[in-house]
């Protein structure tokens, strides 16, 4: 889905109104108790210019899935054309709105927290998949709500998950560019999410091919979460490999613990990158020119593995074994975190995870404070400091801290 920055903040729903709206009404989960059970929850933030894709693409694909007693598909839906929030069940080629609630701000962490709590109360199961449906912008967040003139940032995503205290087997982003190390690390620090499924690149309006992605678990609910995440990648590949314009359609499944537990390795690499900045700034620029990057709103997200691959091949770096070793360890950390990945031929060099590199002067002026303040990866590694110094050296501008 095309990335779109949504500026400004408006009135936020109060906690009390969310709780009132979220009273569980009647229906008990139909999931069988003698087998593995799954709940697939879609958080459909369609109160914006993507609304039409919900009915004509995503819902249509969900309706292709057969009925099952072990997998429940439920969507929390906020549309721009109507007032209110619907909770929709999809089963066996039919859908029904089981409840219509008041209008909610789907860019607010309290709304997402309520939805996570509500879905686990209504549909208790062994495994939970949560899919955020909307625009995305890597470290800069996702889920824009036009009615509320609001946007959800990574610190709000963290707050929603921690506030709900719900274990999520897979959190997926049917949204652009969310396979960033900043996103994955923010989710990982909750201690409540095992796997992230997201694209490094832009995501087409059609988004996830839900029928192809979830047919295997509908047929065999005993599948482990890592296998279901791989199924999602396979379903994506089957759909987008047949589309001529799908040249950018990457998708990755990432083990969050592999990023979280090894963030020190990435941090050591960032320390050395910063230490060598003055000596290698020209070489870094050449690497940026040649490696894979994604042009989402806060330009640019750089593929971490491909950046490392180009960096260690630079002639100027050849004698710096310490930086080469650290770069190879960083690349191995990222590669080991990837459970499954699909890249079309044009994106064959992508390694599954991106990193923000704000190397346009005006971009850095606009975004530096948000990145340094609201992104744990930036503050808990040297990467935020690196970007600060990089822009001071290469652009001649830096904020006064």
Exposed / middle / buried, residue 240 (Cβ in 10 Å: 0-12, 13-18, 19+): buried
Tell me whether strands 94-101 and 338-342 are parallel, antiparallel or unpaired. Answer: unpaired
Query: What domains sit in the chain, N to C, each tagged with a CATH number?
Result: 15-260 (3.40.50.11970), 263-395 (no CATH)
Contact of 204 with 57, CB cutoff 8 Å = no
According to the model, what pLDDT value does residue 396 have? 57
Nearest alpha-carbon partner for 210 in 353, 70, 66 = 66
3-state secondary structure of 170: strand
3-state secondary structure of 357: coil
Contact of 223 with 217, CB cutoff 8 Å = yes
pLDDT digits (tens, 9 = 90+) for 235-279: 999 999 999 899 999 999 999 999 999 999 999 999 999 999 999
Give the CA angle between residues 313, 315, 320 to the nearest 5°: 85
The two structure tokens encoding residue 174: 């049917």
- State the DSSP H helix or E strand holding residue 5, giving kind and residue range, or none if neither: none
Instruction: Give the bridge partners for 367, in sequence order.
Output: none
- State the DSSP H helix or E strand holding residue 46, giving kind and residue range, or none if neither: strand 38-46
Dihedral of CA atoms 164, 170, 176, 182 in degrees, nearest 10, equals 70
Q: Which residues of the chain have pLDDT under 50?
A: 1-33, 398, 400-401
Signed CA dihedral, 76, 79, 85, 91: sign only: negative
According to the model, what pLDDT value does residue 60 have? 98
Distance CA 96, CA 178 (A): 30
The two structure tokens encoding residue 61: 């694909």
The two structure tokens encoding residue 396: 């001649």
3-state secondary structure of 279: helix
3-state secondary structure of 375: coil
Residues near 276 by beta carbon (within 8 Å), at least 6 away in sequence? 320, 323
Crossing angle of the two packed helices 304-312 and 321-337, in degrees rounded to 10 = 150
**Residue 55 DSSP code:** I
Residues near 362 by beta carbon (within 8 Å), at least 6 away in sequence? none
3-state secondary structure of 245: coil
pLDDT digits (tens, 9 = 90+) for 99-139: 999 999 999 999 999 999 999 999 999 999 999 999 999 99
Its pTM surpasses 0.75: yes
Nearest alpha-carbon partner for 83 in 169, 147, 168, 8 = 147
Residues near 49 by beta carbon (within 8 Å), at least 6 away in sequence? 4, 80, 146
The two structure tokens encoding residue 304: 């971490």
Signed CA dihedral, 309, 311, 314, 316: sign only: negative
Distance CA 4, CA 142 (A): 9
């Amino acid at each position: 889905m095309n990335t779109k920055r949504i500026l400004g903040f408006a009135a936020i729903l109060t906690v009390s109104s969310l709780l009132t709206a979220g009273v569980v009404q009647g229906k008990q989960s139909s999931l069988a108790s003698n087998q593995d059970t799954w709940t697939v929850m879609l958080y459909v933030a369609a109160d914006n210019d993507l609304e039409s894709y919900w009915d004509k693409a995503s819902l249509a694909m969900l309706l292709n899935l057969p009925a099952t007693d072990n997998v429940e598909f439920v969507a929390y839906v906020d549309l721009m054309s109507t007032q209110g929030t619907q909770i929709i069940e999809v089963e066996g080629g039919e859908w029904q709105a089981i409840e219509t609630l008041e209008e909610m701000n789907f860019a607010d962490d309290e709304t997402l927290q309520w939805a996570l709590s509500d879905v686990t109360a209504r549909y208790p199961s062994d495994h939970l998949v949560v899919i955020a449906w909307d625009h995305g912008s890597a470290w800069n967040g996702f889920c824009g709500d036009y009615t509320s003139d609001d946007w959800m940032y990574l610190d709000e995503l963290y707050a929603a998950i921690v506030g709900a205290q719900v274990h999520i087997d897979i959190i997926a982003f049917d949204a652009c560019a969310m396979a960033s190390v900043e996103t994955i690390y923010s989710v990982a620090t909750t201690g409540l999410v095992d796997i992230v499924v997201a694209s490094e690149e832009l995501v087409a309006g059609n988004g996830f091919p839900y029928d192809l992605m979830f047919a295997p678990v509908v047929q065999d609910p005993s599948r482990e979460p890592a296998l279901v995440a791989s199924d999602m990648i396979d379903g994506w590949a089957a759909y987008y490999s047949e589309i001529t314009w799908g040249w950018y359609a990457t998708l990755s499944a990432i083990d969050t613990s592999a990023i979280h537990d090894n963030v020190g390795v990435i941090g050591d690499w960032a320390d050395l990158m910063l230490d060598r900045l003055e000596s290698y700034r020209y070489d870094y620029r050449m690497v940026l020119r040649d490696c894979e990057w994604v042009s989402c709103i806060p330009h640019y997200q750089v593929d971490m593995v491909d950046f490392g691959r180009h960096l260690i091949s630079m002639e100027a770096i050849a004698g710096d074994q310490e930086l080469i070793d650290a770069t190879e360890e960083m690349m191995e950390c990222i590669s080991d975190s990837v459970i499954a990945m699909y890249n079309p031929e044009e994106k064959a060099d992508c390694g599954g995870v991106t990193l923000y590199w704000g190397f346009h002067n005006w971009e850095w002026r606009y975004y530096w404070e948000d990145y340094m303040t609201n992104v744990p990866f930036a503050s808990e590694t040297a990467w935020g400091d690196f970007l600060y110094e990089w822009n001071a050296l290469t652009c001649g501008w830096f904020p006064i801290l």
